């Protein structure tokens, strides 16, 4: 049982090492492609400016409405 567990751990490590090298280029390319980030927001003084400073692309409020948050044009709200 112990040998089987060791073999499984070695196989998992080997799989992680071989897949990490080939996916690094894919991961960096996808990170460049995704420019919008989202946040969970709540109403406070300066929320619009804070969202603009953080370059937020979308937000949600855990409510059925925007909670009177008025985002800049580039931001959108998700229900």
Name the pTM for this structure: 0.48
Rounded Cα–Cα distance for residues 69 and 78 (Å): 12
Rounded Cα–Cα distance for residues 63 and 78 (Å): 10
Q: Note down pLDDT in tens along the chain; length 79 residues.
A: 777 777 677 777 767 776 655 555 555 555 444 557 888 998 899 998 898 888 888 888 988 888 888 877 656 666 5
Does residue 78 contact residue 66 with C-beta atoms inside 8 Å? Answer: no
pLDDT tens by residue, 1-19: 777 777 677 777 767 776 6
Does residue 37 contact residue 55 with C-beta atoms inside 8 Å? Answer: yes
Q: What's 61's DSSP letter?
A: -
């Amino acid at each position: 049982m112990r040998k089987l567990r060791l073999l499984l751990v070695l196989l998992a490590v080997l799989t992680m090492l071989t897949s990490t090298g080939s996916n690094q280029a894919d991961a960096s390319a996808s990170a460049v492609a995704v420019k919008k980030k989202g946040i969970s927001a709540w109403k406070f003084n300066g929320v619009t400016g804070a969202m603009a400073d953080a370059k937020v692309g979308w937000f949600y409020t855990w409510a059925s409405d925007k909670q009177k948050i008025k985002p800049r044009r580039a931001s959108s709200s998700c229900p």
